[in-house]
Each structure stands twice: as structure tokens, then as C-alpha cells.
Amino acid sequence: MALLVIASCQLMVVLDITIVNIALPDIQRSLDFSTTSLSWVVNAYTLTFGGLLLLGGRVGDILGRRRVFIFGVLLFVLASLLGGLSQNDWQLLAARALQGVGGAIASPTALALISTTFPEGPARNRAFGVFAAVSAGGGAIGLLAGGMLVEWLNWRWVLFVNVPIGLLIVLATPRWIRESERHPGHFDLIGALTSTVGMVLLVYGFIRAAQDGWRDPLTLAAFGAAVVILVTFVLIERRSPQPITPLHMFADRNRAGTYGMMLSLAAAIFGMFFFLTLFVQNVLDFSPLQAGLAFLPVSVVIAVGAGIASQLLPRYGPKPFMVLGALLAAVGLAWLTLTDVHSTYAGSILGPILVFSLGMGMEFVSLTLMALSNVATHETGAASGLLNATQQVGGSLGLSILVTMFGTASNNEAEQQIPAFLAQATPAERLRFERTEQLPPPWADEILTSGVSAAFITAAIFTAVAAVIALLVIQVRPSDLERLQGGGIPTV
């Protein structure tokens, strides 16, 4: 029951990243977002989530993980309610940012609670397998749930749905989860602030580049300020007696490699969900419900991959699954680059996403176990927060890079499609284009498809980088296998 409560919280937090994806076309029409600025509906959540995860994990270590877990879930519920009530774009973005704060408090605490609730060995391996499957597969479940809610109700219910789920988690937590021991310390608020602001500026720079070009003064200013602030963040962490990011964790090559892989793979999975959602709804004309059902196989295959990995890890160690998983993900994304306006779901999308999902299921179990292996008990919150932070920051930063590639390729394609449209358009169609600056199908489909293909090429490169890291950096020691089999000495 404790695992059910913990996994339910993680599902709610992860699901919320993609449940909104399926509603993006409706949100865009309702609140007048542009296609490139629409990514901020995702990034406003993932940036605050990723930027504050380290602080959230540290707060749980200091104040007690159960009470911090409950507070994070309640904050998430409040923000979801406010988001569903939003009447304009800035209100929705503010609510999404507040959701990210709640998720940043609850999610690393949930992962740390697994480490303190289940002993090392088969029981913890299975618990991590469930947690990893939920983390990776929750995105596809979110698309299905979002499709049903948008189809049967409206886009606001993709946020309202979190309210009853979160309240049930809060009510169940005191009954099934015991409080953890407190570890006195202080909060590195300056570190949390500089890391979050630096990442926001970096992501803003990429998105601004997609809209206004790489020579735009604000684009260059955002990149410059991001570099200065992030360097300041590293200097603060090096001198802090209790840093929000314990830099000594990067001294272990396996853990450092794991974080690097998570950055790359998160960018790929965020991008896959974001761009395929737009493609199936705008080019294939899927309804929100059909789009959600289209991603249902992703959850199933991710669960299969996670199950295979969690069962075989004690025998073979995580490295083979880290290498194979990244290669499968790269193959799936490279396959997706072949999609065009004549593609069908069964012929061009289903196969690639199944290959991609099998690889990601293997990856998330392996990465979770490797990141928390041989970590002292009093630092499990920080280690959990760092793993989750690399996932969310990698997703946000990666998505912003992919949006930039999408925007550049789309603009180049538009230069060819606009003259073709104007040569055939009626006076009424020309007037509509001058008013909205939006091309109708099939010209708009060609532009979108060109941008999506460019984004998938970049995402495939990200996963290939992860495979190289797994092959060259990760080393599995006999003591690691002993711990996975339950024979190791717990770290205190």
C-alpha cells in the first residue's frame, strides 16, 4: 500500500506533463498562444519542477519526508485548481509554474521514501521497477486521460482531475507511510534560486531564437545572462557547507554518467510526446481521444521493458540495458524522421514508438537504480532530487532546443509553401491568410511535418549520445551486482 501511494503521486506528477500536451491545440485556440510560445505551457511546469527538485529533496531530508510529501501534494492540488480556472495565458502559465513547485516538493520525497521503506535487494528492485515504469509510462497514460477529458469535457479538466486524486493521496499517506528520520541542516535557497533562474533564461533563449532568430538582441542577452548565473550557481555550490547540489555525487563516474544520460533521454521523450501529439491531431486529423489512444501502446511497452530490466538486472547489471535501451530509442526516433504528410499511424508511427518505448522502459529502471546505488541514507533525498532534476531540466532544455530546430525548419519550409499557396489561393483565402498569417492544409501540413522531422533528427542524436555515455562511462562493479541481489551492506 505504501508503494501504491508513492507511485500514485509520481503518476500524478509525471502524467501532468503530458496530459496537458493533448489539450495544447484547444488551449492554443482558447487563450491565443502561438505555436512556439505554446511550449511554455509545458516548460512553465517542467522548469520550476526541475529547478526546485534539488531543494525539494533537501527539504524532505531536513523536515521529514512524509510531512513534506503531503505539503507538496496539497500545493500541487491548489495549483491545478487555479490552472483550470485560468481566463488568459499568463494565469495559466503562473498556475503551471506553481504546479511545478508542488511537484518539485513531492516527487523527490516520493523516490526517497522508496529507499527508506524497502531494503536493498529484490524488494527495492521491484519497487524501483514500478516507480520507473510509472515515471516513463505515465506520459502516455496522461495523453490517453487527456484525450478523454478534452473529448468529453474540455481542456480545463486536464487540470481539475488532479484535485480528487491529490486529495486521496493526502488522506492515504498518514495511514500507510511512516515518517522518516530528520537530518538537521539548512536550505540552500540561493542555490535553488540561481539554478532555476539560470535554466529559465537558457530555455527562453532557445525559444526566443526559434521565434526571432539567433541574432536577436534579447536572444543573445538571455544566453549571456544564463551562462553568468549558472556559473555563479556552481561557485555557490562549491563553497556551501550544505549545497542543494552535492557536487561530490558527480565524483562517482557511474552516477555522473547516469545524470548525463538522463539529460539526453529526457529531452528525447519530452520531444517525442510534444511533436507527435501535434502531428497526429493537426496532420492526421485525430480527435483528442484518438490521439490519446494512439499513445496507449507506449505505456504497455514501457512497462514490459521496465519489467524485463528489473528481473534481469541482478544477473547482468544495468550497463547492458542502458546501452541497448538508448540504441533502441535512437532507432525509434530515427524511424520517425521518415514521416510525411502521406504517413499513416499504423504504417509510420506505431512501429517506431514501440521500439522507442521498449528502450525507454529498460533505461528508466537502470538509471534509477544506478543513480541511487551506494548513496548514504541521509543523502537519498538529495540524490533523488538530482536524478529527477536532470530528467525535468533535460526535458525542458531539450524541448526548447527541439522547438528551435522545429521553428527553423518550419520557417524554411514556409518560404517555399507560401508562394505556392498564393499562386492558387482565392481572394477569400488570401484575405484570411493576411488576417491570421496561418496557411490552410495541405500547405500548413507540409510546414508542420518538415519541422517535426527536423526535431526528431535532433532527438535521435540526443539518444545516440546517451548510448555512447553508457558504453564508455558506466562501469558495473561486483559490489553493485551484490547489492542488486540483496547481499550488499546497506549504506548509512
Reported as a single tens digit per residue, the pLDDT across 35-58 is 666 777 877 887 777 667 777 767
215 pLDDT exceeds 60? yes
**Model confidence at 382, in pLDDT bands (50, 70, 90)?**
low
Percent of the chain residues past pLDDT 70, beyond the cut: 83
Residue 270, C-alpha cell as written in the block: 519530452
Q: In the Cβ-directed half-sphere of 268, how many Cα atoms lie within 13 Å?
A: 34
SS (H, E, C) 184-249: CCCCCHHHHHHHHHHHHHHHHHHHHHHHHCCCCHHHHHHHHHHHHHHHHHHHHHHHCCCCCCCHHH
What's the whole-number average pLDDT of the chain?
Answer: 79
- For position 21, what pLDDT does the model report? 74
Taking each helix axis as running N to C, give the angle between helix 380-424 and helix 427-436, from 0 to 180 degrees, rounded to the nearest 10.
150
Query: How deeply is 279 buried, as exposed, middle or buried, from its count of CB atoms within 10 A (0-12, 13-18, 19+)?
Result: buried
Reported as a single tens digit per residue, the pLDDT across 265-303 is 888 887 888 888 888 888 888 887 888 888 888 878 888
Q: Are 66 and 173 in contact (CB under 8 A)?
A: yes
214 pLDDT exceeds 70? yes
- For position 487, what pLDDT does the model report? 44
- For position 492, what pLDDT does the model report? 32
CA distances, 491 to each of 120, 207, 378, 380 (Å) = 10, 43, 10, 10
Of 170, 179, 169, residue with least CA distance to 66:
179
- For position 263, what pLDDT does the model report? 85
What one-letter code names the amino acid at 230? L
Q: Whole-angstrom distance between the N-terminal and C-terminal Cα of the chain?
A: 25
200 pLDDT exceeds 90? no
- For position 423, what pLDDT does the model report? 78
* Count of other CB atoms within 10 angstroms of residue 208: 23
Element (H, E) at 78: helix 65-84
